Amino acid sequence: MGKGSSAPTSSNVTQTNLPEYVRPQFERLLSRAESQSITPYQPFQGQRIAQPGTDINMAYDMTRNVATSGVPGLPQATGAVAGNIGQGQQIAQGADPYQFDPTQTFTGENVGQYMSPYMQQVLDVQKDQARRQFAEQGAGRAAEAVQAGAFGGSRQGVQEAIAERELLNRMADIQATGQQRAFESAQDAFGADRSAMFAREQAQAGEDQAARTQQLQALGFVGDQAQQLVGMGETARAADIQGSQLLETVGRAEMGQEQQGLDIAYQDYLRQQAYPEQQLQQFSSILRGVPVQPGAITTGYAPYNPLQQALGAGLTGLSLYRGLSG
């Protein structure tokens, strides 16, 4: 033995073992736990979210069409109103004011237009009659002058001058009276003509106003129809929206039922995945509740010494020799 070395000492080792009646269960528990811990993750292969059905897709299409098509009848109504505005402007521009001129008087050319062109001929005839009468009366005046002894004298000349003056006065009177009557007749004709013209223009103005009123009423009717068309379009649009909402409601109810089924399937999958671990935990808890008293085995170990072994063998042999010889 070298310098500085020390002799080894003996030691004891104690082993704790499970009882044999529970050892297999604990070993299987450990094996199952190990197997469970290394099991790969298995993702869910089924559908998780319900997809929109036919009703919901139809509702979406209807809503999209309503949003993009606008109010039915609105373009036609807009065109009708625009046409009414244009026609109304034309009617207003074509409404001529009353054309009768109340300041027109019976003078100048108006007199000549209404006087008879044969008036002077009638007066000339009357003048000719006056001349014939003057001539006829001239013979009587000459006979009276002869009887009075004044034929060819100054007295007869005075009478002739008086007779000629009366003839001229009569002719002037015929001319003046005829012209006055012709003027009055023309004036009456002018007044009657103006009255008739006034009546005609009033009647025409009334007819024109009535026609414009009818046209405006027709435009108003068209406007009312356009407004009704828009109202009907809005009603139809509201009906389309309501229809799409009803379809969406039905579709979402079906989608909700389908989603419930998918959720149940996923919960079943989760329970199925957790079942082995739950069973393992339950088995482990059962084993933990079993009263187990582990057994202990203590083994002593002495260090190996060749010299001591040799001495021991010698002493043993000596004792055996003494026993045999003794």
In whole angstroms, give the CA distance from residue 109 to residue 145.
51
326 residues of the chain, pLDDT tens digit each? 444 444 455 666 655 567 788 888 888 888 888 888 888 888 989 999 999 999 999 999 988 988 888 888 888 888 888 888 888 878 777 665 555 565 566 565 666 666 666 667 777 777 788 777 777 676 666 666 666 655 555 665 667 777 778 778 887 888 888 777 777 777 777 778 778 877 887 788 778 778 878 888 888 888 888 888 888 988 988 998 999 999 999 999 999 999 999 999 999 999 998 898 888 888 888 878 776 655 555 555 555 555 555 545 454 544 544 544 44
Q: What is the pLDDT of residue 317?
A: 47
Q: What is the pLDDT of residue 246?
A: 92
User: 183: number of CA atoms within 13 Å, CB side?
Assistant: 10
Q: What is the pLDDT of residue 4?
A: 46
Task: Confirm whether pTM is higher than 0.75.
Answer: no
> 26: Cβ–Cβ under 8 A, 6 or more apart, which residues?
18, 287
Q: What is the pLDDT of residue 196?
A: 82
Q: What is the pLDDT of residue 261?
A: 93
Domain boundaries, the chain: 54-267
Q: What is the pLDDT of residue 150?
A: 53
